[in-house]
Structure 1
Amino acid sequence: MSQTRAYAAHAADQPMAPFNFERRQPRKDDVAIEILYCGVCHSDLHFARNDWGVTRFPIVPGHEIVGRVTAVGDEVSQFQAGDLVGVGCMVDSCRHCQPCRDGVEQFCLEGVTMTYGSDDRQDGSFTQGGYSDQIVVSEHFVLRMPEGIDLASAAPILCAGITTYSPLRHFGVKAGHRVGVIGMGGLGHMGVKLAKALGAEVTVFTRSSAKVEEARHHGADHVVVSTDDEQMTAVAETFDFMLDTVPVQHDLNPYLAALKYDGTHILVGLLEPIEPTVEAANLVTKRRVLTGSLIGGIAETQELLDFCAKHDIRCDIEMVDIQDIDTAFKRMEKGDVRYRFVIDMASLKA
């Protein structure tokens, strides 16, 4: 076992605090990693606050991990000490069901083992995340950092990036397609950059006119203020895809009306019941599709990292020290970050 330093939530109503625990010694297929950077996701906040009612305390959040390999198990063939690597939202799956065989481990029929908050499939230990100085992960779930990628800004690509890239790739977005990106936060700004790099004509939908120039700065070809009925009427039946990154309840009907026939509306942010009700006529009369997507498989995430390195795509980040994580959580709740916080884990040594 290896003594690990971390920051953890000890109760839903308490601030994050230092926490020491033991990581397992590397198994034959394991990679041991010194963590250099860890992104801060809204899921981290939800787990720390037990918003979903499933948290077991103490919990060490963090599933956007970039680090350096320090040791490998005897059967590891793809990595060696010194390699720069990443770990995303998953650290294991059953590996034998159809989704796992198809490379979409996030849909494992037996349920994935999450980077934190899950029971390890082999020894039953509790997984703890990346707000720590080290982690041990099976080789299959470790990603290689491509040459030239900016390590700190690559951390959120392992969650925010793959969440938006996976549906764009799955549904075949390419040059000539018109894509609407709904929302301009951590997911939205990555969606714009990735859809543009795939060749699409991209329009950002935002409720705030203050974000028009911001959206254009990130590469949007057009911006529609969705609270302006005249602007929404002008784009009716013009889009092939809608990438909907909004994480709270919102009216889907105006955006469905903006899709062409056979258009596809993809939910990647909303996990709550859809309110207000979707008008079935918006689907039936134009053969439109309302669907959703969850992160991406390991091979697809590696593809994304390589794609981002090739096209110089970065997540816009603000670096923070681990000691300031509660302040970061509060700012994130207020939307006061452009667009993701990333923890410099060197601060943990202080």
Structure 2
Amino acid sequence: MGSLKPTKKTMMAQQYDARDNELHLNEIPIPEPKSHEILVKVACASLCHSDVMHFEPNDQGLILGQNPVTIGHEATGYVVEIGSDVSGFKEGDNVGFICAVDCCFECEPCKKVHNAWCVTGKQKMQGFSCNGYFQEYVCVDARNTMVLPGELDANSAAPLFCAGVTAFHGVEDCGLKPGQWMAVIGCGGLGHLGIQYAKAMGLKVIGLDIAGRALEEAKRSGADHVFNSMTEKDWQKNIVEITAGGVDAAVNFTASKKSYDDAPAIIRPGFGILMVVGIPRQPLEFNGLDIALGRYRVMGSNNGTCYNMRPCIEFSAKHGIKPHLNYFKLEQVPEMVELMNSHKAQGRMGVQFD
């Protein structure tokens, strides 16, 4: 790896433009860090389904700030320059980070819920309301940044800083004990990590998807059983039989409303959990009688703050959790989006910067 410092004042960035609903490879200025920020040379930025929501009609709260905006909120890189108020980092450190900026990090929502609900109302999310990570350099808040454990590599750990944190807490927050059953709904970019985390926690896992490649990924990640919920007629009945009454938790990583509608049939009655992680375009619907009479519980899981990022990353390093990451060039990000939309991707897709 050569010099980390930029040799010019501009860089190329994949930016979403709401005026034509397209991505454009634009030349933009390289940012300078504020006193509380770190300038990072991006090693790898990976694509998340939330990035694709830019292009879709969606009423679930996606907020676009500046336009055009560099997409991407999942990356790792190398420290280039440190703001005057920052300590604990040095030039060349391999780091990962998450995307909230301009929030206080001290209010109760920031500490215990999510930075999206910061009481200041000034919060932004990189990749959505301000520039994200599909660009060579980015300024990140030092409070949202950590040096990578030695077992992790900056060129391959990028998915852990969104997909990993999201999948880890989606699984862990269910509170299951070793030997209990978990269904992982959606075995792609998040789900293949969720399966690895669940197995590392001692759970028995059933993988559900509609794409053959994702189900192959689920098997490689350690799933005990897999089902194609589109082509296998009796998949719900079979799951109930295998688990002797239903899974103890079903974690849904998909953006499919139908998958949410189908999930209660495979959950063990009486305090089984439906964990909401994936965000469909349409509002979700639940049967009030089911909830009132305790057929199952509906929960959500925090998808990453500076307060719960580190446990996931350290667990990943300790247990050898590895994203399946396929590499592309910056100009190929539109191709990555198409592969994700067509369900032809396996694991995670990322841009590796030179």
Q: CA shift at 1:103, angstroms?
A: 7.1
Q: Secondary structure at the match of 2:104?
A: coil
Check whether the contact 1:104–1:297 (CA below 8 A) recurs between aligned residues: yes
Residue of structure 2 equivalent to 1:121: none
Q: CA shift at 1:225, angstroms?
A: 4.2
Distance in structure 2 (CA, Å) of the matches to 1:84 and 1:93: 24
Q: CA shift at 1:104, angstroms?
A: 4.3
Distance in structure 2 (CA, Å) of the matches to 1:104 and 1:117: 16
Distance in structure 2 (CA, Å) of the matches to 1:4 and 1:100: 32
Aligned pair partner of 1:160 in 163, 169, 192: 163
Aligned pair partner of 2:23 in 1, 16, 24: 16
Q: Secondary structure at the match of 1:239?
A: coil
Aligned length, in residue pairs: 336
Distance in structure 2 (CA, Å) of the matches to 1:214 and 1:116: 27
Quickly say closer, same or farther: Cα 1:115–1:228, change in 2 above 3 A: same
Residue 228 (structure 1) aligned with residue 233 (structure 2):
yes
Identity fraction in percent: 26
Quickly say closer, same or farther: Cα 1:2–1:171, change in 2 above 3 A: farther
Residue 86 (structure 1) aligned with residue 96 (structure 2):
yes
Aligned pair partner of 2:276 in 267, 276, 290: 267
Residue of structure 2 equivalent to 1:116: 127
Letter in 2 for 1:228: K
Check whether the contact 1:240–1:264 (CA below 8 A) recurs between aligned residues: yes
Task: Note the alpha carbon deviations across 1:228-263, whole angstroms, 9 max, x for none.
Answer: 324145247332211111212115454223223111
**Aligned runs of 1:37-48 on 2, under 5 Å?**
37-47=44-54
Q: Secondary structure at the match of 1:318?
A: strand
Task: Note the alpha carbon deviations across 1:120-154, whole angstroms, 9 max, x for none.
Answer: xxxxxxx2111111111221011221112132331
Q: CA shift at 1:205, angstroms?
A: 2.4
Residue of structure 1 equivalent to 2:67: 57
Q: Secondary structure at the match of 1:290?
A: strand
Which residues of structure 1 form unaligned runs of 5+? 119-126
Aligned pair partner of 1:73 in 70, 83, 106: 83
Aligned pair partner of 1:192 in 182, 192, 195: 195
Letter in 2 for 1:31: I
Distance in structure 2 (CA, Å) of the matches to 1:257 and 1:155: 35
Q: CA shift at 1:31, angstroms?
A: 1.0
Q: Secondary structure at the match of 2:307?
A: helix
TM-score by length of 2: 0.85
Residue 301 (structure 1) aligned with residue 309 (structure 2):
yes
Quickly say closer, same or farther: Cα 1:168–1:323, change in 2 above 3 A: same
Aligned pair partner of 2:184 in 181, 194, 200: 181
Q: CA shift at 1:117, angstroms?
A: 3.2
Quickly say closer, same or farther: Cα 1:168–1:79, change in 2 above 3 A: same
Check whether the contact 1:177–1:240 (CA below 8 A) recurs between aligned residues: yes
Residue of structure 1 equivalent to 2:4: none
Residue 288 (structure 1) aligned with residue 296 (structure 2):
yes
Q: Secondary structure at the match of 1:215?
A: helix
Quickly say closer, same or farther: Cα 1:145–1:263, change in 2 above 3 A: same
Aligned pair partner of 1:215 in 215, 218, 231: 218
Letter in 2 for 1:268: V
Aligned pair partner of 2:338 in 321, 330, 334: 330
Check whether the contact 2:113–2:302 (CA below 8 A) recurs between aligned residues: no
Q: CA shift at 1:7, angstroms?
A: 2.4
- Could you say what the CA RMSD is over the residues aligned between the two structures, in angstroms? 2.6
**Aligned runs of 1:93-132 on 2, under 5 Å?**
93-102=103-112, 104-110=114-120, 112-118=123-129, 127-132=130-135
Letter in 1 for 2:35: K
Q: Which moved more, 1:54-63 or 1:75-84?
A: 54-63
Quickly say closer, same or farther: Cα 1:92–1:168, change in 2 above 3 A: farther
Check whether the contact 1:266–1:293 (CA below 8 A) recurs between aligned residues: yes
Distance in structure 2 (CA, Å) of the matches to 1:207 and 1:24: 42
Residue of structure 2 equivalent to 1:122: none
Residue of structure 1 equivalent to 2:144: 141
Distance in structure 1 (CA, Å) of the matches to 2:148 and 2:312: 11
Q: CA shift at 1:36, angstroms?
A: 1.3
Check whether the contact 2:57–2:281 (CA below 8 A) recurs between aligned residues: no
Residue 171 (structure 1) aligned with residue 174 (structure 2):
yes
Distance in structure 2 (CA, Å) of the matches to 1:212 and 1:54: 32
Quickly say closer, same or farther: Cα 1:170–1:108, change in 2 above 3 A: farther
Quickly say closer, same or farther: Cα 1:247–1:294, change in 2 above 3 A: farther
Letter in 1 for 2:199: K
Quickly say closer, same or farther: Cα 1:318–1:96, change in 2 above 3 A: same
Task: Note the alpha carbon deviations across 1:82-131, whole angstroms, 9 max, x for none.
Answer: 1011122323423232122337435434454201333xxxxxxxx21111
Distance in structure 1 (CA, Å) of the matches to 2:211 and 2:33: 49
Q: CA shift at 1:326, angstroms?
A: 1.4
TM-score by length of 1: 0.86
Quickly say closer, same or farther: Cα 1:103–1:286, change in 2 above 3 A: closer
Letter in 1 for 2:25: P
Letter in 1 for 2:343: G
